[in-house]
Structures are given as structure tokens and as C-alpha cells.
Structure 1
């Protein structure tokens, strides 16, 4: 028979009840951050061209604190069909249209789970404060790169620009169509169509965590930073645009040419020496 105390609850139950809400409070920030991660990726891919979160207005408004300024139902209506909301005469939507030079945001077809993750990202950013939620540059779409970003990716691949953490240049083990005079290395696979093969979702983690028996050892203490990851992804995306097959391995051909030239040069030096002239 259990002993009861005033209030009618078992002594053991009274000890546990206050712990449950305490654990919920302690775990809330971590749960919010975890739920915000897919929203951060979605924002970078779908929204970051026109909006920032805490870095000021761009083509559209800064979205830091948007769910505190606006009702969530209104934000959902606006995201789903901005034009319809504007044409309905909604005063806030029309004020935004006027403020941002008449630029109409295109309709965004998001699933309920995508929208929930995006809202979790916005709330997490609000909790962190302005400037605490800058999206990773590595998460931007490789196909959205500028010519300068693509050119930097090629320099990093070829090794004409050093990697920040001292990692080895990709060209030592890999080739990409048109790179270098003699092409790249053949120890690893040809990466000309790596972006087409892996896609955006596969390429991003592949560059963030370079794995494999050899590559893992090379980059374990020299990982690519986020901007390097993006530049290389941009370069691979550009290389994949041309669907033609890369040229066959050229290393042996060029090495043969260099070898013949060196041999002829050596023979010329020998026969031009004074000792060889004296003997003839």
C-alpha cells in the first residue's frame, strides 16, 4: 500500500512531475536548432537570392523576425501566392510591393513539412539575434554561381590557388575536361560529370566531408572551408553542363613528347661538346 501525502499524490510522483517540464525547457533550444537545419538549406536554395535574415533588405525585405512582425497564416498566404494577395488589395502586401519597386515575388510551392522547417529556421534566427543566422555559402546552389566563383573553383582544383587549410590540390589525383596541359591525375575518378552524377544534394556532403581510404587521410586535418566547397561545386557544375565525353587520357602522349624532346636535346648537347668535335 502506497503512502499518500496532502494533495492526494504519491510521494514518488510528486518528485518526478516538476522534472518533466524542466527537461522540456532545457531541450527546447536544441530541438529548435535541429528542426531549423533543413529550413536553413531551403532558405539558402530558394530564398537567399532575394532575401537575407538579419543582413538587411535585398531585392525583397530582410526576413529576420518576420514571424513576430506578421501573423503566420498571413506569411503562409503570401509565400503561397504573393500576386493573389496583392491583387486582393491586402494593404501590407501592397505596401511591400511599393517599397520594393513593384517587384512581385513568384509563387512558392512548398509542402507543409518544408514550410514548417522554414518557419523553424526563422524562429531559430530570431532567438539567436541579428547576424547569428547567416546561411552557409556551401549550401547555395552550384548552378547559381557567378563566373568569378567558377573561376576560383578551377584555380583551387588546379592548385594555382592554395587551399586555406593546406590540403592537396584535386588535380594530383583527378581530371576534369580541359584542365591543364597534360590533364589531371588518374589515381582517382574523372570528375567532369561528378555534379551531374551526384546532384546538388550529393555534391554538398561529398565536399563537406571528403571520405575514402586515401582522400579521408589527406583531408582529415585539412578540410575544405565552406567557401572553397562552394567554389569547387560551382566549377564541377559548370564542367557538367557540356555533355560531351572528356578527351582520352593525355598523360602518356605528352610525357612521350617531353621524353623525346629531352632525349634529342641531350644528344645535341653531347655532339656539340668540344670532346666530341675533337674525335671526329
Structure 2
């Protein structure tokens, strides 16, 4: 015998309500993976200068397993205002301060969504185990590059160091202040101020995708490796630091100089040949 509540419920509701938790269960892993991926990027951009996940202590502690060692509410308080937690006399914060030579972590202004993504990344790393969650080298901030990384980016741009998968050097189509004797190519835009214009968020995906019509054709079968993406980004970030405009006549001056030397060389060869004929 049906109860009144069952008879009063619409048939459609009885049929479809159970599907909602099923859909949630099916989409939860994908959402968690997306959150962890975003958290990995945030970690590399905001945390990796001082911390690692599974590679040992750096300026601050290794954060592998941090969400298991600490309560989430405590982690949130500490990330938001480390100094306040330390000054409150918190035992864990005081121990960390002493352990890492009195260095205080700066406040991190993260939105609730960004913190959730970062926590998803930490939990994902714990599940993968030590060494299974190393962030992408391409996600490191271009402005944090070492002189060696910048120098490698310049070599890759100019083509003096070949790209691992055989793609053409940027120099053939693009110019950047100070590269080459006569500058780079003019088929593509001048990239001197690209990093200043697009920033980290624009340059990093552009180097990863290379999906403009021309670059898509050139690099479809020869994409840049992550280390190459980072080196080129570092070079472009360094080039953007000088805000003055490149000299417009630089290419013409050097091309004229090279042309004059070529003409003089040809005249020398011709004069030498004429002299030999005169002596014979």
C-alpha cells in the first residue's frame, strides 16, 4: 500500500532523483583532477621558490603530506597570515620558525578557489607517493630564471642550440633586441616586448601550444619540450626588462656594412685575378 507522500510525489521526480548523486559521483574524479592540475600550476608559480613536494626541504619545509600532517583549517590560517599564527604562540609555527632559521613566510593572498585547488594538488601528491608529483618545469615563473636558463633560451631562439624534436629556430621568423648581427626574421612579429605585453599567463600557453596557422604547421610534429618552453620564456622575460625601443635602423646599418664588405671582397678577388692575367 502506497503512503500519501509517495502518491503525492511526481512520477518524474521518482524516476530522476537517483541520477543526481550518480552524476556527481561520475564527475567528481574529473573535477578533482582539474583542481589538482590548477593547484600544481599555483604551487609552481607561488610556492616552488621556497618549497618542494617530495624532494626535500628548501627555504621552507617539504610539503609532501602536509594535508595529512596538519588540519586544513590550520593550513589555511598559516598560509593566509603566517606572522599572525607565529606571534600567537602556536607550537607548530614556533617550531617551524626555529627549524628554518627564523625565516618568516610572507602572507599569501589566495582566493578560496585557489586554496581548494592547492589542497587538491597536495592530496593528489600524497596518493601518488614520493617523487610522483614533480611540477612541470614550464610552469615556473619566467622572471625567476637563472642566467644559465636565460642564456639557453637565447641559444634556442637563435638556433645555435637545436631544439630536441627538430623544430625550426624562432630566429628565422622573429626578432628580439640584440640577437644576431643583422637581427632576426621579419615574417613574424618582433618579440622584444612580448613578455611585458602578455605576461606569464599569456606567454606560457603560447609556447606550449604554438597554434597560430604558421607555427601550427611548423611545430605540429616537433613541439617544444617543457624545459625548452621555459628557457625561451626566460629569454623573452629578460628581453622585456629593457623598456627602450630598439633602433629602427640597426638592421639596415649592419646589412649595409655586410654588403660593403662583400663588395670590397669581390673587388679584391677581381683585382687579384686581373693582376695575375697581366703578369702572365
Q: Normalised by the size of structure 2, how large is the TM-score?
A: 0.88
Q: CA deviation at 1:112?
A: 1.2
Listed one character per residue, the Cα deviations across residues 50-85 of structure 1 (whole Å, up to 9, x for unaligned) are 111111111111111111111101111111111111
Q: CA deviation at 1:16?
A: 8.8
Correspondence for 1:86: 86
Correspondence for 1:257: 257
Q: 1:264 to 1:22 in 2, by over 3 A?
A: same
Correspondence for 2:247: 247
SS in 1 for 2:151: helix
Q: Normalised by the size of structure 1, how large is the TM-score?
A: 0.88
Correspondence for 2:216: 216
Q: CA deviation at 1:254?
A: 3.0
Is 1:122 aligned to 2:122, yes or no? yes
Correspondence for 2:9: none
Structure 1 spans left out of the alignment, 5+ residues: none
Q: CA deviation at 1:277?
A: 1.1
SS in 2 for 1:241: coil
Q: CA deviation at 1:28?
A: 3.4
Q: CA deviation at 1:172?
A: 0.7
Listed one character per residue, the Cα deviations across residues 162-181 of structure 1 (whole Å, up to 9, x for unaligned) are 11111111111111111111
| Greater mean deviation of Cα atoms: 72-81 or 123-132 | 123-132
Is 1:145 aligned to 2:145, yes or no? yes
CA distance in 1, matches of 2:22, 2:152: 50
| Greater mean deviation of Cα atoms: 264-273 or 52-61 | 264-273
Instruction: Give the alignment's Cα RMSD to 1 decimal.
Output: 2.5
CA distance in 1, matches of 2:279, 2:58: 81
Listed one character per residue, the Cα deviations across residues 178-210 of structure 1 (whole Å, up to 9, x for unaligned) are 111111111111100000111110001000011
Q: 1:128 to 1:18 in 2, by over 3 A?
A: farther
CA distance in 2, matches of 1:198, 1:206: 10
Correspondence for 2:278: 277
Q: CA deviation at 1:270?
A: 2.7
Q: CA deviation at 1:35?
A: 1.4
Count of equivalent residues:
274
Is 1:191 aligned to 2:177, yes or no? no
